[in-house]
Amino acid sequence: MTESLQLPNGKADTRTRSRSDSPSTVATSSSSNRPATPISDATFSLSQVVIGCKVFVAKLMSNNETEFRKAEILSIRGRPDDGSKHEYYVHYVEFNKRLDEWVDASRLNLTKGIEYPKLKKQKSTLGPGKDVAATPPPESPMRAGSNRKSAAPTPLSRLHSDGEAATPSTPGIESLKRKAEDCATPDGATETEDVVMLDPDEPENNRASNHAPQVFSKEQEIEKLRTSGSMTQSVHEISRVKNLNSIQMGRHEVETWYFSPYPQEFAHADMVYICEFCLCYFLSKKQLERHCLKCQLQHPPGNEIYRHEDLSFFEIDGRKQKTWCRNLCLLSKLFLDHKTLYYDVDPFLFYCMTLRDEYGCHLIGYFSKEKESAEGYNLACILTLPQHQRHGYGRLLISFSYELSKVEGKIGSPEKPLSDLGLLSYRAYWTETIVGLLLETNEDITIDEISQRTAITPQDIMHTLQNISALKYYRGQHIICLGDKVIENYEKQKKKKRRVIVPEKLQWKPIHFTQAQLRFI
């Protein structure tokens, strides 16, 4: 049986339906000539998967088993004419961003429904307190109270009057006049804003007479900033999708975790090759090999202030070695989600830990420190490269930062907020240091005395003692009482053979900067 429906624009839409089909499983013909997908109350098609929605995705767990986890779609790439060839960049809900990945359409489970983002209310011009509610998004089995039967949800893409999805082309000037309609689309899409881009090199009279201003949608502007190496605008939205998949540094190939503002030509590169001495980056292995023939650097470009066995620390001034320090920040941004600074390195000192061999000093990790910290921080950013993690190097970096504080005669604390791995490392170091001091001291000791001996702030000491349940209230005052399990864990860690910082090997004096040296403008 054939039905003919009259659309508002006067065109006719023909639908073919067998007598046994129900109205909820109507197959609609489209201009793309791809097979129509039946849509029911619990069945969705790939055309309805858009940026911002949440679906269930097959995720490989640690036990090598596959589980379906709810994930948010952050980006979509692939062939526009074939939805099965699309790739989706997903963020698993309640998982760290480092586990975000590109998945193909076969890993999406649409039978469990699609959860669309909630719309914000439009600002009404009727007066204060009179907001106009935006049109609600399509019903989904994921939403509570959606057991009732409803019509098939509409894909979250702007529709033309003839019912076909709009192409992602640059809109015209008329779109600026329809800014109110663009704030909330009738099909449940997220808010979009049109951004006018003017060419700064073009004369003003040519702009007004010959050319109209170039207009980008919000999504196109975010993509432009993401691939241009900018970290100054829309930082949160740009950095949600990582632009590099993996890097090769020395003999190690490392999968990246987060976005880093490398130049535009490096955006979405499968592999970036990094020189392990000067930290310059290249797109091909051949370029790296040619660079290594001319690179004269065999260690970080600074003063060696510590050497013990095969371990060395170098101090680098960000004002004197800007290029190297910027390359270091770009590299560390691939593995630190909270890091937002990569260009302005003048106010910082960088302390790099290296392993020495016959080829040179290979970078393991580093921490940065402000030349003048008003809050008394002894560390701004810390990172152990992923290929060297789980070998105790993070604890060495933390211990070295406190050794510098002891030489300065100050107490210090790391800059907040700490990353998840950084917080775990600091808690382990604080616990081991404080418990070891308490067990070695046979006399009563106060929080302030612990702080003076370890250079750890009293706030961090209190936080650590509370975390291990070592603070007890006894006869009107708080006392420190270590439990048997805490002592047992300390003795177990002490038996392990680990590297330690030897204070006698530190050859360093605090640097005092003048007011002129602290002006970085």
Distance, CA of 476 to CA of 233 (rounded, Å): 54
Closest CA to 157 of 167, 169, 147: 167
- Whose tokens are 């809050």? That residue is 375
If one counts every other C-beta atom within 10 angstroms of the C-beta of residue 321, the result is 17
| Backbone dihedral angles phi then psi of residue 260, each to the nearest 5 degrees | -140, 135
If one counts every other C-beta atom within 10 angstroms of the C-beta of residue 149, the result is 9
| R_g of the chain, CA atoms, integer Å | 29
Contact yes or no for 349/371 (Cβ under 8 A): yes
Helix or strand run (H / E) with residue 453: helix 447-454
Our answer to whether residue 276 is catalytic in this structure is no
Collapse the DSSP code of 282 into the 3-class scheme (helix H, G, I; strand E, B; otherwise coil) and give the result: strand
The single residue of 72, 221, 315, 415 carrying the catalytic annotation is 415
How far is residue 416 from each of residues 28, 51, 220, 423, measured CA to CA in Å? Answer: 55, 32, 33, 10
**DSSP strands (E only) in 358-482:** 360-370, 377-379, 381-384, 413-414, 471-474, 477-480
Q: How many residues does the chain have?
A: 521
Collapse the DSSP code of 315 into the 3-class scheme (helix H, G, I; strand E, B; otherwise coil) and give the result: strand
Catalytic residue positions, numbered = 415
